[in-house]
Structure 1
Amino acid sequence: MQLKGKVAIVTGACSGLGKAIAVRFAREGACVVVVDVNASAIEPTVEELRALGGDAIGFCVDVTKRTDLASLMEKIVEQHDRIDVLVNNAGMTRYRPFQTMSDEDWDLVLALDLKAVFFCAQAAAPHMIRQGYGKIVNMSSSHGTGATPGFTAGSPGGSSAYAAAKAAVIQLTKTLARELGPHGINVNCVAPGFFLTPIHSTTRTPEQIDEHIKNRIETTVLKRTGKPEELASAVLFLASDESNFICGHTLLVDGGRTDRM
């Protein structure tokens, strides 16, 4: 059990890839701290993780709120004495052609996909520094490594805010690794390719989803979509002591994407 006795925070843990990561962590012996803005989903998720034999606690927190995050970290340390792992998974997108993207759309995406990553790391870091140990895993995307086409929202890209935020997460990971590495904290990043999760249905019709899946399968050398548990395995590696000499790295988990500009 690679995370036995470790306290691991997963943001956006009640659905999609975050849920898969939380489940894998629970199976590996971690005390999983479920953090999500969806209050009604927290307790069922916690109960599911406990049923797997792991320990779990849950908090309803908006990770874009810096003061709320500081309070969250204090509560976790009060209950469990330490914070070993932070997975910055919470995210969103608003697909829009850039010429019609509003300030509201841009700000919402950047707040959750970039600022929240910084805020969460900033809130957890003092506790990791105190204990001389920590693992921070940030979630980027294949969109952060190249302008992948898809004709989403009537545009060949349609994801300028999301792509900009996810590219910035990669660079943020490198700068945090430089600053926190000397304190025994490994900061790394995962850049997923296409995994079918609820986020893909929020802005698409069923027909558009089918076409989107077909297009994405064609852009990978493995010719299939990713399985959430495969992404969870990559995150587990970076969260475990198996990756102790890896810092500032971005791990592509994308099936061999071939469509980067």
Structure 2
Amino acid sequence: CSSDLIICTGSVAGCVGGVGPMAYTGSKHAVVGLVRAASVELGKHGIRVNCVSPFGVATPLPCKAYNLEPSFVEESTSAMASLQGVVLKARHIAEAALFFASDESAYVSGHNMVVDGGFTVGSHVINQISD
């Protein structure tokens, strides 16, 4: 892609409350706000600013921090997502970032791409009751 680009990493915690500790949630909300403000200010210089906000990915960081097996993280994340039949992997997050870096997103700026299988768009309590 011919333009300059900044890609930030957010989290679903920056979209909804109750997903992580208060400080983490607040900082990820701030990342999304920064992306939006920076895209306005830097756009006049041809700089695009976007964000990728993943759900729980079974990487070493959360697995070690919470002493969890990767399979448990994947199963838990999959159970909470609206989209079934797909397990969130680190490559899905990388592919979202690669989209922002590609020519296909040349006119995309200020966007927060949430990679969560629909977790942030539905009420999981109601879904569990109706199942």
TM-score in terms of structure 2 length: 0.80
- Which of 65, 70, 73 aligns to 1:203? It is 65
Match of 1:218 in 2: 79
Match of 1:26 in 2: none
Larger Rg: 1
Equivalent runs, 1:138-157 vs 2, <5 Å: 138-149=8-19, 157=20
**CA RMSD of the aligned region, Å?**
2.2
Shift of 1:205: 2.8
Q: Count residues in correspondence.
A: 121
How much identity, in percent, do the aligned residues show? 34
After superposition, give the CA deviation of every residue in 1:52-77 in whole Å (9 maximum; x if it has no partner): xxxxxxxxxxxxxxxxxxxxxxxxxx
- Which of 162, 170, 173 aligns to 2:32? It is 170
TM-score in terms of structure 1 length: 0.42
Secondary structure at the counterpart of residue 136 of structure 1: strand
After superposition, give the CA deviation of every residue in 1:12-67 in whole Å (9 maximum; x if it has no partner): xxxxxxxxxxxxxxxxxxxxxxxxxxxxxxxxxxxxxxxxxxxxxxxxxxxxxxxx
Contact 1:196 1:225 in 2 (8 A): no
Q: Which has the higher contact order (CA 8 A, sep 6+)?
A: 2
Secondary structure at the counterpart of residue 183 of structure 1: coil
Equivalent runs, 1:84-163 vs 2, <5 Å: 133-149=3-19, 157=20, 159-163=21-25
CA 213–241 in structure 1, closer or farther in 2 if over 3 Å, else same:
closer
Contact 2:11 2:55 in 1 (8 A): yes
C-alpha distance in structure 2 between counterparts of 1:191 and 1:259, whole Å: 19
Shift of 1:172: 0.1
Specify every segment of 5 or more residues in structure 1 that has no aligned partner in the other structure, as ranges: 4-83, 85-132, 150-156
Specify every segment of 5 or more residues in structure 2 that has no aligned partner in the other structure, as ranges: 125-131
Q: Which runs of 4+ in 1 moved over 6 A?
A: none
